Structure 1
Amino acid sequence: MHNLSVISLCDEEIIASIRQLVPQGFLEPQDPLLLKQLWLQTADLITAFQAAGRLQDNPFADAWQRRIHLYETEIRSQIAGETVLVTGGKGCVGSRLLGELYRLGASRIICIDQLGMLNEPGLDGIAYYTADVRDYALLEQIFASEKPAIVFHLAAQRDPGLAEVRIRETVTTNIFGTQNIIDLCERFGVRQCVFSSTGKAARYWTSEVYAASKKMAEWLFARAATKGKVTYSMVRFTHMLQNSLVCQQIDEKIKKNRAVNVHAPERYIVAQNVYEAVDLLLNSLVHCVSGRLRFAVARNLGWPVETLEVALYKILRSGKTLPIYFQGIPSGYEEPFFMGQVDWRAPSEINTLVNALESPGMSLDASGGMVFCELTDFSPLVLELHLTRLKKLADDRTVEASLLKSELSEAVRQVAASSFALTPPESLLRLLWWGCAPKRLASQGYAIAAHRGIVETIVPQLHARVDAEVVRCAGLEASEFAELLEILAKLPDIGANELRIEIKPPSLKTPPQAPLSTCRLE
C-alpha cells in the first residue's frame, strides 16, 4: 500500500473525529452509543466523498475489466504435446491457469498443492498431487514420474500479515521451497520455468517477512537463470481482485453487520484481475530470454485506489448503516513507500512494480500492454552466504522466530548492498534525492528516519564514489546536493559525512548540465 495525499480539509475533520472516538490500536467497538456516533461520522464521510465525485462507481471498475494481449498461437506451439506442472494450482491464479493450459492444448497437466484434492473436476489430462513444496523427497517422486517440460511455480505463503506470525513457515516455503523447485527443474531437464512474484519485491530493501522472502526467491531465480540449463522467467503481480484480502475482510464485516476496520486513511493499492495475471504467466513462456531472468508486469495498472474509499463504497452498496474505524497499520504492511523506488524522470511511465534501478532496461511487447525488465546485478556469493545462515536458523526449531526474521532482513540488506555496489553512483544519488528530498518527505508526512533501512543500505555504497561529475550526472544542482546531505545528516550513524568530505564546494561550479548521453547512466 502506498501513501498519497488527496484528502480534503472537510474529510480530515471527519477522520479526526472518527479517530478520536476509536483511537488507533483499540479493539473493535461494541458499545451501541459509540457505534451510533461512528455511523454518523461515517455517513458524513460518505457524503463528503460523494460531493467530491467519488463512490459513484466501483473503485476497482477499471481493474476488473482490464486485459492484456494473449500470444495464443505462440503459446500453443510451446505447450502442445507437453507435460506442464503447476505448483499452487488450487489457488486463485493457479486454478485459472490450469483451465487455460487445458484449453491451449497441454497434453498433461500436473497440479501440486498442499491442500487436499477431493472432489476435483474430472478433466482428462489433469493430475492432482497433494504435496508441500518444502517436501523435496515427495516432489522428487512427482518430477521423476511425470517428467514435466514446463513448470509454473506459484505456491507461496501469500498473506503479509500472516507471514509476520508464521515466520518460519513463510521463510521455508517461499525461499527454500522455491529452491527445491529450481533444483528439481535442473535435475529433471525441465525446459522452462515461470515464477510468480509480487510487486512488493520491487523494494530495494524490506524487513517485512513476506516481501523479503519473495525478494530472496527472485534472487534465487536470477542466479539459476545465469548458471543453470533451464530457461527461467518471472512475473510480478499486485493486489489480486478475485482473491483480495482487503475486500474479503470488508465483505465479511458487512455480512456480519459489524463495524468495518480500515488500516488508516490515505492507504492506496493498485490491483489487477486474475485473467490479466494468468495471461502474463502464459505470455512469459514466449517472451523469456535464455541465460537471464526477464520479468514481466502489466504496463497499465491504473490509478491507485484508497482502501478507505473501497470500504465506504461497499458499505454504501450494502444499504446498511455500518460505521468504519481506523485500527492502525498491522505488521506486514507498515513500511512507508520510498519515493526513490520509482523513476521520476518519466512520470507518465512510472510502474510501481518496477523499481528505478530496473526501469532503464525496460522494454514493451508488440501490443504495448506488457513491460519487460531484468533484476539489477548482485553478488551470488553474498546471496549464498546468507542463504546458508538462514537455512541453519530455519532448520533449528529452538531458534526464536524473531531471530529468523532478523537474519532474513539482514540477508536482503546485504544482497541489496552488493547490488548497489555494482550500480553507477549517479543512479544511487538520484534515487536518494527522489526519496529523501525534504519536500517529498513533507508531502508524505514522514521524517527521514522512516526510510532509515534503505538509506543506510545505500549511503555506504556511495563512499569514495561521489564527485562533482557524479552529482552533475545525477541531475542535482549544488544546492540540492547540499540539501540532501543536510537531510541525511539527521541520521548521524549512516556515514553521510563521508559524502560531504568528498565533495569540494569549488568543484560544484560546473557548466550547465550536459546532455544525458555524456553522463554515466545505468
Structure 2
Amino acid sequence: MIRNFILRTLDKYASKWIVFFVDLFLVFVSFFIAYFIRFNVSFNFNVNNLLNQIPFVLFFAVVSFLTVGSYKSIIRHTGIRDAFNVFIASSLLCVLLLLAVTFNVFFKVIDSFYIPKSILIIHYLVTTLVLILSRFIFKSFYDVLSIELESIHNVLIYGAGESGIISFGALNRDKKNNYDVIGFIDDNKNKIGKKIDRVKIYNPKLITKEFIKKYAVDEVIISIQKIKPNRLLAITDKFIGLGIDVKIVPALSKWIDGDFNANQIRQVKIEDLLDRAPIIIDNPIVQREVNNKVVLVSGAAGSIGSEISRQLSLYNCKLIVLIDQAESPLYDLQQELIQKGITNFVAIVSDVRDRFKVERIFKKYKPQRVFHAAAYKHVPLMEKSPYEAIKVNVLGTKNIADLSNEYGIERFVMISTDKAVNPTNVMGASKRIAELYIGCVSKASKKTKFTITRFGNVLGSNGSVIPLFKRQIENGGPLTVTHKKITRYFMTIPEACSLVLEAGTMGKGGEIYIFDMGKSVKIFEIAKRMIYLSGLRYPEDIDIKVTGLRPGEKLYEELLADGENTTKTYHDKIMIAKTHEIDNSVVKIKIDDLSLNFDKLNNRELVKLMKTLVPEYVSNNSEFEILDVRPKEVNIK
C-alpha cells in the first residue's frame, strides 16, 4: 500500500520543475562540499564569503540548466544521453563562473564575489558527479518500486479456517510472487469482523464490485478442504461474475511432502465446476490383475485408449501392446512413453477391421488381457456413414472379441457409451449392437470373461465440447451450442479410465458396468463458465450461438435403457446394469449375417437392419427418421 502511494505521488508530482529545483539544491550542496574539500576537509574558511557567493552560483546554475534543458528528461528513463546533457550543463556552469570571477577580478564590480579557481574546479567535478549519480539512483529506486508494484497481487482468501491460515502463511513466505492479502472471507458468523494476524475477516455479502474496486483485488483464492462441488460452483460463479480471477488451493493429499507452497495454488478448472465429487481410485486388485501380464489396448491412440495405456504403464505389466490405425497420434503416444522411461510396450499400426493382421498380433504377443477402446464416436459424422460405423464399432469389436475367445484371453473389457442407451443415432445404435454381441460371446465363452463399461462424455477427449470451446474462445468466439437445454454427463479422462481398469477386475463375465457420472450438466452453462474462466465476459466479449440439434443428437443422455436397473458393486461409483434377457443365438446369427453381407447394403438398408437388432433405436433429426422398422425375428423375453 505504501509503495502504491509513493509511485502515484512520483508520477503525479515529479515534473521537470521538481527536477530543476532538486538540481539547484544539489549545486548548492556541492558548493559547500567544494569548500570543505579545498580546506583539507575542515571548516576553516570564511562562511560569510561562501554565503555571499551562493546567490551568484545559483544564478549561473539557473542560466546553465535553462540553456541546456538538462532538467527536462524523464528521470526514471535516464540514459547515457541524459548523463551527457548533465555534463554539458555543469561544464557550462563552470565556464560561466570562471568568466564571471575573471571579469570581477579585472573590474572589481563586487568585492565579495571572488571564488578561488581550485574551488571552482572541485565544485565542477562534484556537481557533475552528484547530478549524474542522483539521476541513476532515482531511476534505480523507481525501477525497484515499479517491479515490486507490477508483481503485487492483491488477494482475498476464501476460508478463515486452518487451511486458510496455512495458505496465508505460504503467501507471505513466497518470494517469487508478491502477494498482498487484503482479507479473509468466511461464512462463519463467529469469525466475521475478527482479524488473523491483523488481516480482517469479511462477510461474503460485503464483497461487491465496489469492494473489489476500492481494494484493487486481483484474485480470490479458495482455501477450503473438502469443499462440496455445489458450494465451489456457487463461490466461483459469484467471483467470476465480479470480474476477478478465482484460484483454488489443492487438496491436502496433493501437498508436497505434507507442506503447502504458494506455487501449488492453481486456476479453477472447468473440471472443478461439474457439480460432482472427483473419483479417486486406489485399488491394489488392479495391480494384482495386470502385473506380469501381456495387455493389449485397441484404439490406443485415442483419448480413452491413450489414458488407459498411460495408467497401465504405471503397473508392472510384462508387455503393453498398443494398436491403432491412426499413425501420428500413436507415434505421439509412443514418444511420450519413451520420454517417461517406459520400455515395456510395443506400438503397432493396425486396424481392428483387419482380422488377419490383428490375429497375427494375437499369435505373436499372446495377450492375456484386452481393453477394447477402438471406435468411431462422432455422432454427426457417423450419421452420414453407417457403413463405417458398423464396420468399426460392430465388426471391429466382433474381430477382437472372437480372437480373444479363440486365444483364451483371461479378460476382455469393452469401452461403450451412454449413447448406446435408447439410441437416436447410428453411432449409439452401432455401439449397442456391439454390446449385444459381447453379451452373446460371453455366454458361450468358457475361459474369457467379457466385460462392458458404459459411461458418458469425458472432458478433453478428441472432439468433445471443451477443446472446441477453447478453440472458439481463442478465435474470439462465438461459442456454439446446439440447444440451450441440452445436457450431458461428464467425467475426466483419468477418472473414466481408472474406473475402466477397476471394472476390468470385477464379475464373472457378461456384465455391463455403469459409472456414477454425477449430475448431468447443461452445455450452455459450461460454455458461459469457460468464457468467465478465460477472463472474458458473456455476452459482451464473447457470445454463445445456438445452432440447433445435429442429426442423431438428443437433448438428454441416459445411462440405463427403459426397464433396466442397477445393482451395487463393492465400489460405490461402479454399478451393474440389469438388462433384458435376449435370445443370444438369434442375435448372434443376425450379427454374423450382417458381417457377411453388410458391404452389399446401402446406408438406408443398413440402418433398417440396425433397427431390427436394436428395437429401441429411433432416429432423431435424421434422414433415417422415416424408417419405422420393428423386428419380429428378435425374441425379447
Tell me which moved more, 109-118 or 124-133: 109-118
Cα distance, 1:402 vs structure 2? 2.9
Cα distance, 1:201 vs structure 2? 1.7
**Partner SS for 1:312:** helix
2:435 paired residue number: 218
2:456 paired residue number: 238
The aligned runs of 1:425-440 (5 Å cut-off) are none
Provide the rounded CA distance (Å) in 1 between the counterparts of 2:626 and 2:236.
39
**Partner SS for 1:264:** coil
Provide the rounded CA distance (Å) in 1 between the counterparts of 2:635 and 2:444.
26
The aligned runs of 1:63-462 (5 Å cut-off) are 63=274, 66-68=277-279, 70=281, 72-116=283-327, 117-118=330-331, 120-121=334-335, 122=338, 123-203=342-422, 206-229=423-446, 230-243=448-461, 245-290=464-509, 293-299=510-516, 301-318=517-534, 319=536, 321-333=541-553, 335=554, 337=556, 352-359=558-565, 361-365=566-570, 367-396=571-600, 399-413=601-615
**Partner SS for 1:110:** strand
- Describe the shift of the 1:98–1:294 C-alpha distance in structure 2 as closer, same or farther (beyond 3 A): same
Cα distance, 1:400 vs structure 2? 2.8
2:143 paired residue number: none
- Describe the shift of the 1:99–1:249 C-alpha distance in structure 2 as closer, same or farther (beyond 3 A): closer
Kindly report the root-mean-square deviation, in angstroms, between the aligned alpha carbons of the 2 structures. Answer: 3.4
Provide the rounded CA distance (Å) in 2 between the counterparts of 1:98 and 1:223.
27
Report if the CA contact (8 A) 1:75-1:283 is conserved.
yes
Cα distance, 1:89 vs structure 2? 0.9
Q: In structure 2, give the amino acid aligned to 1:162.
A: L
Provide the rounded CA distance (Å) in 1 between the counterparts of 2:239 and 2:560.
29
Cα distance, 1:249 vs structure 2? 2.3
1:25 paired residue number: none
Report if the CA contact (8 A) 2:487-2:520 is conserved.
yes
Could you tell me which runs of 5 or more consecutive residues in structure 2 were left unpaired when the two chains were aligned: 1-233, 242-267
Report if the CA contact (8 A) 1:115-1:130 is conserved.
yes
Q: In structure 2, give the amino acid aligned to 1:362.
A: T
Provide the rounded CA distance (Å) in 2 between the counterparts of 1:279 and 1:375.
24
1:502 paired residue number: none
Question: Which structure is higher in RCO with an 8 Å CA cutoff and minimum separation 6?
Answer: 1
**Partner SS for 2:384:** coil
Cα distance, 1:356 vs structure 2? 4.8
Report if the CA contact (8 A) 2:611-2:630 is conserved.
no
Could you tell me which runs of 5 or more consecutive residues in structure 1 were left unpaired when the two chains were aligned: 1-48, 339-351, 418-445, 463-521
- Describe the shift of the 1:406–1:287 C-alpha distance in structure 2 as closer, same or farther (beyond 3 A): same
**CA deviation profile, 1:98-138 (whole Å, cap 9, x unmatched):** 12212121110000111114352322111001011000010
Tell me which moved more, 189-198 or 244-253: 244-253
Larger radius of gyration: 2
Cα distance, 1:183 vs structure 2? 0.9
- Describe the shift of the 1:308–1:382 C-alpha distance in structure 2 as closer, same or farther (beyond 3 A): same
Provide the rounded CA distance (Å) in 1 between the counterparts of 2:458 and 2:396.
22
Provide the rounded CA distance (Å) in 2 between the counterparts of 1:95 and 1:232.
21
Provide the rounded CA distance (Å) in 2 between the counterparts of 1:356 and 1:405.
21
Count of paired positions: 358
Cα distance, 1:224 vs structure 2? 1.0
Provide the rounded CA distance (Å) in 1 between the counterparts of 2:501 and 2:279.
11
Cα distance, 1:388 vs structure 2? 4.3
Provide the rounded CA distance (Å) in 2 between the counterparts of 1:132 and 1:118.
15
TM-score (norm 1): 0.62
Provide the rounded CA distance (Å) in 2 between the counterparts of 1:250 and 1:69.
27
Report if the CA contact (8 A) 1:174-1:214 is conserved.
yes
TM-score (norm 2): 0.51
- Describe the shift of the 1:145–1:50 C-alpha distance in structure 2 as closer, same or farther (beyond 3 A): closer
- Describe the shift of the 1:100–1:379 C-alpha distance in structure 2 as closer, same or farther (beyond 3 A): same
Provide the rounded CA distance (Å) in 1 between the counterparts of 2:479 and 2:273.
24
